[in-house]
Structure 1
Amino acid sequence: MTHNKSRRRGANFNLGAEQAEADKRLLHSAFYESDDYLTISDKDDRRCFIIARTGSGKSAALQQLEEESPGHVVRVIPEDLSLQYITNLGIMRFLDGLEVSLDPLFIALWKHVLLVELIRHRYKVNTPAAKANFLATLRDKIRRDPGKKAALEYLEEFQDRFWVEADQRVREVTEKFEERINKEAKGKIALPGSADATLGATSGDTFSSEVRTELADRFQRIVNETQMARLNKMINVLDEDILDSRQNFTYVVIDDLDRDWVDDKLANALIRCLFRAVLDLQRVDNLKVIVALRTNIFEHLDFGHRSGGQEEKFRALALRMRWTATELEELISERIRVATSDFDVKLRSVYEILPRTNATRGDALEYMLQRTLMRPRDIIAFFNEALARSGRAEPLTWDEIRGAEEPYSRKRLLALRDEWKTSYPGIDRIFEVFEGVTLPMSADEFTRRLDDAITQTAGDPAFTGTEWVYELTAKMWTHAEGSWSDWYGPLVSLLYNIGFIGCKTGSRSEFRFFQDDPDFAERVRNLESITDVTIHPTFHMGLDTRVDYSRRS
């Protein structure tokens, strides 16, 4: 007897995991090649800093790149690099306290990690014999170029430790640096405690300002000399002798830099220095280092003078992942096609599972997209919520879509909290102030709600976000004559930039949201011109808001 493997769509039918990289089948079969993905995979497009909100598909894109380019992708995992070990070292905190710039050390560490990982990958260096063969091959290649001798000496220093895991190499470089700093200090300054005391066990505050200045100058010179000349020679060798043909083109992928793996201040420095190291590696023709970073972390990086005036270059090399309505429609259609491939009713378009457009309720897909922050994760979650309520082979009904909206909205509000709670702990307390509000709000109504949020959190010892709320509203307490944008602007900008609110600047204008106008809240004149504020439709039902359509005109 022949068994028909086709089956009808049932209650378990869905469009796969909201995190595409967690759904191997759909990622492989239904991956949508957006314009952003084509830019990421383009070997000649030098944009290499992938800046995106949570749920925008950056991790899925990088995983797809590995699928499409087997043997040509090196993935560097920050959590495997002992970065927390580095930033917790007493010597690092001591030098940071003296305001010694650790940037040269951190840049050297990143270059060291990337170079060694690329060499290990290119020559399969994982045993002493492989390392010896690699060095012999490379020595033969560069023997006619005396200028590259220093580069080879740099590699030979590692001897039998070359193939150990990256975290061990990072620790080794860091420990050598620590030894050099302590050696420099020994006999020149008196350390409190025993004769074996080290700088890492003390604090710069124990010294006078004159001694602090002298120490900072002395140690800064050591930091500045950290292997940079020989490392830069190695980059030339990488370009001309290791990745010397298109056949050896290699992508390096660095994701998950938004994990809580280091202290905030030093994490900022480490990421900023990674950007500078990547910038230097741009001169290697057959290499593309791709760094994926969440939008909020990128915007908070302290480029400024510490980046050597290179902020403009960083931004020019940044790709901000955004999705159009057409791309999201095509992404959902592709998922539907793959998800129904073994069903008796095969579907190819998103409109085959949506109610027809009508004059009363409009276009169902447009309705659903308006209740997203224009990210794949949002629209997939909305569809899955509606499909879970259906369980029939027929298209979804408007009642099923509306019934799914409330749980979907509540979950998206929680997701917004989770996305931003590391940078802004307790931010959900700000969201709660807008529960039950009638929309849209006039500027005055909105201001009263902000006042409630500020006063309620300021007086609550259990609130964990006192520091950032005070920082954003500092001028309210210190500038009695300040303007509205002085007092409320930073908090309004935050709520706008995370996608929570939209703003209107006159009766004839439309509400603007971050996904449509990312720079709106960065201009003071726009903030001063706000006449009405609304909550993004994604969160209406989650906050039990009511829309008064008579107010919208």
Structure 2
Amino acid sequence: MNPKYKLKDGIGAVSAEHDLYLIEAFIDNGYLEKIKDPKTPQFILLGRTGAGKSAIIKYLENKIDSKRFKKIEIEYLCLQYLKDNITLRTLKDRKKNIESFYKYLWRHIFILEIVQFFSEDVNNTNSFYKFFNIQNSKNKNKAINQASQYFQKYSDCVFKNTEENIKNAVTEIEKKVLEEAQLSANISYKPEVKTDLKTSNNSVIKQKSESEFKDTDYVIDRYQISELDGVIRSLIKEFSDDQKEYYIIIDNLDKNWTYDDKDLNEIIKYLLNAIKDINTKIRDLNIKIIVSVRENIFNSVLQTTRDNEPQIEKWNDFILTITWKKQELIQLINKRLTIFKHQYQKSSPDLNDILPTEDNGKDNTDNKAIDYILNRTFQRPRDVISFFNNLVKLIDSEKFERISWEKVKEISKYFEQEIIESVIDEWKYNFPYLRYSLDLIKGLKYKFKISEINQQSINDLFNKNTRFINDELTQIYLDSQTTAIKKILECWMIVEFIEIEDNKNYIKNSPLFKKLPEDNNGNTNYIIHKCLHNTYNIKMKF
């Protein structure tokens, strides 16, 4: 490590993209091996902000040959373009099944991305034909024949970017829809990459009666889907290699994302379904498509599209949820501290050298300094790195002195405010009322029952802060105060501001199952997270 880096400057950036020490101090707590194995079904890397999703992706990218690693930025998937496309919107509005379109589209797009792995030395169409032995396709089996036909049609697309291929595929489908609507004889169709809602084609599409539109299952017939399957089978036959692994990564799914946009969330759901399907087909190529997604976004995609998929629990087999244990976070900090061993004559410091050794003098879970700190985080690397970045500023590199309990607690008070704000920001689209709902928690005991929430605080929340409480929650409150308070408690539980005491049916860190238990007698105890204790005057005595 470059000696110019000093411990007092911090132990790393909170974002993986800017963390100088990520590769050197990377901690693999088992998730890397699981997510990178093409044979395992998990492809969704799920976690809260700062849980380490981007760190895993960055580490994988660093360790894999760049020719076998491809990251697709979310902008190039054209989600907004697909949402706004007038043909797709018209088909959807008229209750046509557009799922088959997206099944075809994403399979087609990912096949083109996959082919690029095996055509790295191919730079023109003629050599591309030779590369796949297309001139001899008549002597091949059915799968190879289908692949040959496909490559003849789309060979030039292999050398185009993802965005262009998506828009070209949509244009192709638009043309077929127009033809099926028997418009081609009357309209001079001009394929357009950009959808203009005022064009004559789009105007006619909107005016046609439902009977003039074929279902997309008809336009995208089964032959085309089976053709793509044939392409995959031919690739497996020609290029299967157990010694090489390939990865396509989709990251930053939260970019320009809107919580309550059901149409956009449906497109994301179609994308995830397509990846789930295609990963099972390409595993013999040792290829895996991985999606990194924040927990709140995945939660919203499932919630807003629930009508289309009632059994959302089936996603469990495909999710890898990142969580951290106490000892893993201690290991993470100690490994980062070893980077600065050049500053010390004997050995690098660890937590035992930095934190106070004496007990806190309290008979509770905060007795040890490291417990006191971790109990005020959400046990995410970002939280811990942020806290220790503030802590090590107090360390004199020339004259090393241990941090006192007084300083630990002083930093904790500042840090608690920071972490509360980060959680509110993380979930602001899902729960716009989160900040103001926390007024209900003021002055409660750290372990409370729903009946102990102050009635005046409830009245003030819904009467004084109406502009901050969304219409849905307000309507629930007008219908039933109890139901509204339970919805707020459920919100707190999802963001982990509270947890349920001794509830075997409560599955922590899973966006699929965070529901309040049936509690007809009101006997359930809720535990308030310690990051809230100082700010909201939470009482420790029960």
Fold shared, TM-score > 0.5 on shorter chain:
yes
Matches of 1:102 and 1:314, distance apart in 2: 21
| Preserved CA contact (<8 Å) 2:68 2:247 | yes
Matches of 2:509 and 2:96, distance apart in 1: 42
| Preserved CA contact (<8 Å) 1:337 1:348 | yes
User: Residue 51 of structure 2 aligns with which residue?
Assistant: 56
Change in Cα spacing, 1:90 to 1:530, as seen in structure 2 (3 Å) is: farther
User: Residue 301 of structure 2 aligns with which residue?
Assistant: 301
Stretch deviating more after TM superposition (510-519 or 313-322): 510-519
Matches of 1:385 and 1:102, distance apart in 2: 52
* SS across alignment from 2:281: coil
- One of 116, 122, 127 as aligned partner of 1:120: 116
- One of 534, 539, 542 as aligned partner of 1:548: 539
User: Residue 385 of structure 2 aligns with which residue?
Assistant: 380
Letter in 2 for 1:466: N
**Any idea what the Cα deviations from partners look like across 1:22-74, whole Å, max 9, x if unmatched?**
21x31111011112223223344332221111110011101111111223222
What is the deviation of 1:312?
Answer: 5.1
Letter in 1 for 2:236: D
User: Percent sequence identity over matched residues?
Assistant: 21
* Structure 2: runs of 5+ lacking an equivalent: 188-196
Matches of 2:344 and 2:505, distance apart in 1: 42
Matches of 1:225 and 1:517, distance apart in 2: 36
Stretch deviating more after TM superposition (330-339 or 56-65): 330-339
What is the deviation of 1:133?
Answer: 2.4
What is the deviation of 1:435?
Answer: 5.1
Letter in 1 for 2:61: E
Matches of 1:525 and 1:331, distance apart in 2: 39
Matches of 1:35 and 1:195, distance apart in 2: 53
| Preserved CA contact (<8 Å) 1:501 1:513 | no
Change in Cα spacing, 1:55 to 1:116, as seen in structure 2 (3 Å) is: same
Change in Cα spacing, 1:354 to 1:527, as seen in structure 2 (3 Å) is: farther
When the two chains are superposed, the root-mean-square deviation of aligned CA atoms in Å is 3.6
What is the deviation of 1:276?
Answer: 2.2
| Preserved CA contact (<8 Å) 1:438 1:545 | no
What is the deviation of 1:79?
Answer: 1.4
| Preserved CA contact (<8 Å) 1:14 1:339 | no
Stretch deviating more after TM superposition (390-399 or 443-452): 443-452
Letter in 1 for 2:450: A
* SS across alignment from 1:74: strand
Is 1:221 matched up with 2:226?
A: no
Name the TM-score, length of structure 1 as normaliser.
Answer: 0.82
Is 1:404 matched up with 2:395?
A: no
Is 1:198 matched up with 2:196?
A: no
* SS across alignment from 1:99: coil
What is the deviation of 1:298?
Answer: 2.3
- One of 502, 513, 522 as aligned partner of 2:515: 522
Stretch deviating more after TM superposition (142-151 or 233-242): 142-151
* SS across alignment from 2:393: helix
* SS across alignment from 2:289: strand
Name the TM-score, length of structure 2 as normaliser.
Answer: 0.84
| Preserved CA contact (<8 Å) 1:440 1:547 | no
Is 1:283 matched up with 2:288?
A: no
| Preserved CA contact (<8 Å) 2:248 2:288 | yes
What is the deviation of 1:146?
Answer: 3.1
- One of 127, 133, 154 as aligned partner of 2:127: 133
Matches of 1:533 and 1:540, distance apart in 2: 14
Matches of 2:435 and 2:389, distance apart in 1: 25
* SS across alignment from 1:352: helix
| Preserved CA contact (<8 Å) 2:360 2:369 | no
User: Residue 269 of structure 2 aligns with which residue?
Assistant: 272
* SS across alignment from 1:355: coil
* SS across alignment from 2:132: helix
Matches of 1:272 and 1:517, distance apart in 2: 18
| Preserved CA contact (<8 Å) 2:448 2:527 | yes
Matches of 1:351 and 1:138, distance apart in 2: 61
| Preserved CA contact (<8 Å) 2:443 2:538 | no
* SS across alignment from 1:257: coil
* SS across alignment from 1:525: coil
Change in Cα spacing, 1:519 to 1:91, as seen in structure 2 (3 Å) is: closer
**Any idea what the Cα deviations from partners look like across 1:370-421, whole Å, max 9, x if unmatched?**
1111111111111112223444532222111111112211111111122111
Change in Cα spacing, 1:102 to 1:512, as seen in structure 2 (3 Å) is: closer
Change in Cα spacing, 1:341 to 1:251, as seen in structure 2 (3 Å) is: farther
**Any idea what the Cα deviations from partners look like across 1:139-163, whole Å, max 9, x if unmatched?**
2696431333122212221344431
Matches of 2:465 and 2:203, distance apart in 1: 38
What is the deviation of 1:323?
Answer: 0.8
